[in-house]
């Protein structure tokens, strides 16, 4: 099979340093071979920079459809490329909500047309069990359970849990949704850790055989509860690095930020290897929405920068480079049951990034429509020099941003 590119440098993935060499990508967009020297006439030489697998964000809100004023598939995935993310999985709390075949098809078509990265979506829990069969025929990554679903849709959840499909749990009980307009210190108390761990326990009691992934855990007790039942769990950078003293709408998130002791204990659990993956929970809103304290929606937008906030842990030798790729690429691919993402290996998707691991820089611009309050001018460690989708150069440090043939991997792989 003919090659379209060779991408050369210091090769790394979750297994560690693989040596100096080249990743050779074929015309179908998959790695054909790894070699000491380039095999394609079109080669990219990054000398002593890191060449690694593209990052995967398994929890993003790209909005789009009727919420495109906040963010859309183009602006969000351009931001993802900016930070080295080459596969995103979009959450279903859109407008219209992705809880029926018609809405899901509409969203998938919009992603196919506009996405600058590989992509997929989760389905929300449908309103009717009769929709489940048709939803399963679509190339979705799994189903998302929100707190309110644990009350109003529990009988439908029982049917969904019987399926051989990934279930993503927002770990809070329905009572938590009644609490929103207090300041973050109060929200962290009123939407307590007990409501998180209780939701994990409750879902396990409903069905103890389902494949469940607990997303954006904010409390150590939630991590322990998830691991007790054999579930996978991810955390976000805001729960690792911010606490409930970060006040105002720009730090209002669900689950809420916790007190400093809880934050430190969660970070320690992550550093000790109890957590399976990292995700952004990128949640964009308009500037006007975020300026009204009583009504402002929850969420932090940072798809264009968050991996390099995490990379400071590499800078300070708290995690290794291979650990970074494990949490940001390989482990998310395993959670999603994608067997051809996340490694520098023959047969894997040719989504590749080149990283300057030593560069210290400040984030000053984004492709996103959302205001990145709090992230501008912060120091970031590690820098994406270039990003490739299917072996084709789509982003570089000089401002190149190009769309290529992106794919929904669930069209072909499960």
User: Which residues carry out catalysis?
Assistant: 281
Q: Which structure tokens are listed for 24? A: 């050779």
Six-digit token string for 275: 């957590």
The C-alpha angle 156, 216, 411, rounded to 5 degrees, equals 60
Contact 313, 235 (CB under 8 A): no
User: What is residue 25's three-state secondary structure?
Assistant: strand
Q: Give which of 311, 192, 339, 211 is closest to 258, Cα–Cα.
A: 192
Q: Which two tokens stand for residue 364?
A: 């000053």
The string of DSSP codes covering 128-171 is SGGGHHHHHTS---EEEE-TTHHHHTHHHHHHHTTSSS-EEE--
Nearest to 120 by CA among 77, 87, 95, 164: 87
Beta bridge partners of residue 64, listed in sequence order: 67
| Cis amide leading into 255 (omega within 30) | yes
Asked if residue 356 lies in contact with residue 327, where contact means CB atoms within 8 angstroms, the answer is no
Query: Cα–Cα distance between 401 and 394 in angstroms, integer?
Result: 5
The full length of the chain comes to 414
Number of C-beta neighbours around residue 102 at 10 A: 12
């Amino acid at each position: 099979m003919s090659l379209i590119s060779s991408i050369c440098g210091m090769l790394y993935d979750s297994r560690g340093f693989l040596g100096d060499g080249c990743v050779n990508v074929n015309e179908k967009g998959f790695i054909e071979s790894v070699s000491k020297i380039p095999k394609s006439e079109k080669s990219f030489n990054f000398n002593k920079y890191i060449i690694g697998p593209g990052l995967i964000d398994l929890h993003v809100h790209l909005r789009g459809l009727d919420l495109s004023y906040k963010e859309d598939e183009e602006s969000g995935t351009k931001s993802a490329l900016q930070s080295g993310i080459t596969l995103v999985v979009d959450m279903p709390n859109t407008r219209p909500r992705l809880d029926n075949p018609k809405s899901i098809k509409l969203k998938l078509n919009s992603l196919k047309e506009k996405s600058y990265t590989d992509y997929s979506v989760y389905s929300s829990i449908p309103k009717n069990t009769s929709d489940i069969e048709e939803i399963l025929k679509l190339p979705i990554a799994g189903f998302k359970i929100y707190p309110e679903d644990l009350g109003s849709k529990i009988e439908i959840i029982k049917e969904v849990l019987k399926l051989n499909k990934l279930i993503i749990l927002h770990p809070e009980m329905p009572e938590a949704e009644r609490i929103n307009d207090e300041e973050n210190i109060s929200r962290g108390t009123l939407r307590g850790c007990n409501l998180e761990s209780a939701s994990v326990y409750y879902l396990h009691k409903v069905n103890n055989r389902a494949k469940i992934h607990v997303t954006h855990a904010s409390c150590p007790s939630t991590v322990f509860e998830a691991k007790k039942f054999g579930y996978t769990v991810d955390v976000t950078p805001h729960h690792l690095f911010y606490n409930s003293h970060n006040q105002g709408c720009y730090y209002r998130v669900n689950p809420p930020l916790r007190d400093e002791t809880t934050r430190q204990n969660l970070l320690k659990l992550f550093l000790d290897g109890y957590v399976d993956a990292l995700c952004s929970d990128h949640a964009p809103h308009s500037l006007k929405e975020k300026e009204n304290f009583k009504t402002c929606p929850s969420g932090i937008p940072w798809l264009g920068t968050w991996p390099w906030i995490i990379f400071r842990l590499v800078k300070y030798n708290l995690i290794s480079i291979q650990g970074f790729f494990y949490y940001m690429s390989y482990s998310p691919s395993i959670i999603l049951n994608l067997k051809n993402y996340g490694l520098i290996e023959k047969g894997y998707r040719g989504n590749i990034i080149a990283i300057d691991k030593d560069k210290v820089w400040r984030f000053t611009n984004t492709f996103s429509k959302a205001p990145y309050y709090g992230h501008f001018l912060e120091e970031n460690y590690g820098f994406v020099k270039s990003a490739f989708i299917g072996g084709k150069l789509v982003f570089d440090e000089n401002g190149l941003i190009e769309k290529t043939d992106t794919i929904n991997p669930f069209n072909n792989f499960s």
